[in-house]
Amino acid sequence: MGRRKKKMLCWTIKELRAHCSHEM
């Protein structure tokens, strides 16, 4: 469940830093 929520926000930590970094 936890990893599923993360997928919604961002695919992975790598992507999170690349794409969601500016959003956060």
pLDDT tens for each residue of 11-23? 677 776 776 555 5
Residues 9, 2: Cα–Cα separation, whole Å: 11
Q: ∠ at Cα 3 (5, 9), nearest 5°?
A: 35
Residues 23, 15: Cα–Cα separation, whole Å: 12
- Check: pTM over 0.85? Answer yes or no: no
Please tell me the predicted confidence (pLDDT) of residue 15: 73
